[in-house]
Amino acid sequence: MSSLCLLLSRFHRITLVEGYSRYLQRYYLLFPNPLLPPLSMNSWCCIVENYTGPDLEVPPKAESPSSQGVYECFYPSCDKKYQSKQYRDNHFDKVHLGVRYFCNCCNGSFMNKGSIKKHKDLGRCPGIDFGQ
> Per residue in 2-58, pLDDT tens?
555 555 555 667 777 777 787 787 777 767 777 888 888 777 777 777 666 655 555
Output the pLDDT for position 132.
Answer: 47
Domain residues for the domain of 131 are 100-132
Output the pLDDT for position 1.
Answer: 45
Q: Is residue 70 part of a domain?
A: no
pTM of the model: 0.50
How many residues make up the chain in this entry? 132
Spacing of C-alpha 49 from chain mean position: 13
Output the pLDDT for position 83.
Answer: 92
* Distance (Å, whole) CA 105 – CA 82: 33
In this predicted model, what pLDDT tens digit does every residue of 47-80 receive, in sequence order? 777 666 655 555 556 677 888 889 888 777 788 9
Q: Is residue 35 part of a domain?
A: no
Q: Is residue 27 part of a domain?
A: no
Q: Is residue 93 part of a domain?
A: no
* Distance (Å, whole) CA 78 – CA 112: 21
| Domains of the chain: total | 1
Q: Is residue 117 part of a domain?
A: yes
* Distance (Å, whole) CA 30 – CA 77: 22
Q: Is residue 71 part of a domain?
A: no
